[in-house]
Chain A
Amino acid sequence: MSTLAPLVLPPKPRGRWKPWLGLAVVLLITAVTLSPQWGIAFSFEAIVKNWQNGADKVLALLQPDWSFFPRTIPPLVETLQMAVIATFVGAVVSLPLSLWAARLTNPNRYTRGLLKTVLNAVRSIPDLLYASVLVAMVGVGALPGIIALVLFNVGIIVKMVSESIEVNDAGPLEAGRAAGGTQLQINRAIALTDAWPAFVNQTLYVLELNVRASTVLGLVGAGGLGLLIDAVRTFYRYDQLSLIILEILVVVVVIDTVSASIRKRLV
């Protein structure tokens, strides 16, 4: 004879208050950041007041000034030139540095740590800040823009490629060492071949980022479409601005599509 065992519910999981605590902290910080005293003073009133004089300008965004098109071509070309050159230089600089930053290809902990720290610092400054400082250093033009993009690219490529080297199979590298290869020979013959797809993939990804970034670098005087954006915005020619935004959209989408299709076949 069998009796039905009484239904024993498992205890409720502990720590169910944790998400609520998180939510409370987020709400508290948000309240502080929105308060007029401590924060950025979010007020619908100001928006409503500005709406009347701003609305016609926003409307102008919907009516692109097509006659402006010929004047946008040279800056657009310069933007693409900057993106291509910066990607190339960035990739060339990054390849040896990626091998330097990965544990498998550089067993020395100290030189590796040093490089990683420097690159972390380099990566934490946005490209436009580099550009604005570099314009003051080397003057207006495409050159400071390219240098800014290169700095930004090296930070990204080295991080991504060195991380992908670390997850690569260590076997071939050990085989190379067992065959008596020096670290340099192993890196060149084995690690480089393994890292190649990741490297090309990241380089194309960085090209996409560069096209996007180089359109605005001119805002601080570093050449390209941004110079034109700065000019039309001081005259509130939002119809011309809208044409430039459209061009950026088209160029970015085209480059992204091409690069994404190449990357898909690669990996």
Chain B
Amino acid sequence: MTTLTPTPPGTRARPALVLPAKPSSWRRLTATIVVTVIVIVAFWSVDITWARLGSLPGEIVRYLWLMFAAPNWDKIGEALLQTWRSVEMAWVGTVIGLVISLPLSFLAARGFAPAPARGVLRLLFSVIRAVPEIIIAIAILSVTGLTPLTGALALAVNSVGTLGKWGYEAIEGVDPGPIEAVRAAGGSTPEVIRWGVWPQAMPDFVSFWLYRFEINVRASSILGLIGVGGIGDMLTSYTQYREWSTVGMLLLVVVVVTMSIDAVSGALRRRITEGASVRELDR
């Protein structure tokens, strides 16, 4: 008969700690190596005199001081006028863009047009989105001249690319129930669009338009660089004259105007997509 002797504490064999196998990391390793090589090659081959980097921070601080220590407010009137012109370009570009893109996005959505039309339109949208608006402006300016109209048209073309894509995605994303209900009640395609799709997709569409307007406001100030007018035009001239205090004022105007338009448009978008706040509904 054996006596059960309690094992003294600490000596009992614990099950060995088995760690789960490490996730295979060769993929991550290859990715790291590829990225590192690309970055090193880019740094090594680019044509920059890196010695200049040393004096760069000092230079930039000096220029920032020149620009913003005492912005020159004499030209504020003209600056606001040119800003208004830029915003007009953005507005007209957005309106033309939405008028063209609205029917096109229905034609590009599944269920409303034959497949070939869909493919062609989607290709067109992605080609347009790949080309920067300033290049579109250069391409059409020989016909339309160096006027704000050119800027507006370039923005309109570019807007069709993005609005068309967002539009057909929104249309395809709506709940099919109401569409089937309209079909079952004998509705024609226009009636399906009006009563099945539009009530659901409208908030998305309006918020896309507003968002694209915000993008266009930014882009319209860029378009001034090729001479179609607006705040960008004025900014390039004063940069070339090296009138830094005026440049500083112009940059401040761009920042304030862009941020205010973003704020207003953002608030509108939230109101449209999320509905009224509880407090407003109480009234």
- In the assembled complex, A176 has its CB within 8 A of some CB on chain B: no
How many Å lie between the Cα of A44 and that of B47 in the bound state?
Answer: 46
Q: Are A33 and B219 in contact (CB-based, < 8 A)? A: no
B254 at the interface (CB under 8 A from A): yes
Interface residue tally for chain A (C-beta within 8 Å): 61
Binds B, one of A2-10, A100-108, A134-142: A134-142
Known: A33-B88, A40-B85. A50 touches B144 (CB 8 A): yes
Give the most central of B56, B142, B226, B232: most A CB within 10 Å: B142
Q: Taking the complex as formed, is A206 at the interface, i.e. its CB lies under 8 A from any CB of chain B?
A: no
Whether a CB of chain B sits under 8 angstroms from the CB of A76 is no
Q: Which residue of the partner chain, among B56, B95, B145, B239, contacts A136 with CB atoms under 8 Å?
A: B239
Given A26-B95, A137-B59, A137-B60: A238 touches B142 (CB 8 Å cut-off): yes
- CA of A193 to CA of B130 in the docked complex: distance in angstroms? 33
Contact between chains at A125 and B47 (CB < 8 Å): no
**Contact yes or no, A142 B47, CB < 8 A:** yes
Residues of B within 8 A of A42 (CB): 92, 149, 152
Q: Which of A39, A55, A77, A78 contacts B143 (CB 8 A)?
A: A55
B88 A40 Cβ-Cβ under 8 A: yes
User: B221's contact among A57, A129, A245, by CB below 8 Å, is which?
Assistant: A129
Q: Are A245 and B139 in contact (CB under 8 A)?
A: yes
Q: What 1/0 mask marks residues of chain B from 222 to 263 whose CB sits below 8 Å from any chain A CB? A: 100110000010011001101000010001001100110010
**A34 CA to B96 CA, complexed, in Å:** 11
CB of B192, distance to nearest CB on chain A (Å): 20
Interface size bucket, B side? 35 or more
Contact B232 A219 (CB under 8 A): no
Bitwise, A181-225 to B at CB < 8 A (1) or not (0) is: 000000000000000000000000000000011011001100000
Minimum Cβ distance to chain A for residue B168 (Å):
18
A residues with a Cβ closer than 8 A to B are 26, 29-30, 33-34, 39-43, 46-47, 50-51, 53-55, 57-58, 61, 77-78, 80-82, 84-85, 88, 120-121, 124-126, 128-129, 132-133, 136-138, 141-143, 146, 212-213, 215-216, 219-220, 229, 233, 236, 238, 241, 245, 248-249, 252-253, 256
Q: List 19 A-B contacts (CB under 8 A).
A: A39-B88, A40-B148, A40-B152, A42-B152, A46-B144, A46-B147, A50-B144, A54-B142, A58-B143, A121-B255, A126-B219, A129-B254, A132-B225, A132-B235, A138-B52, A142-B47, A212-B130, A219-B225, A229-B135
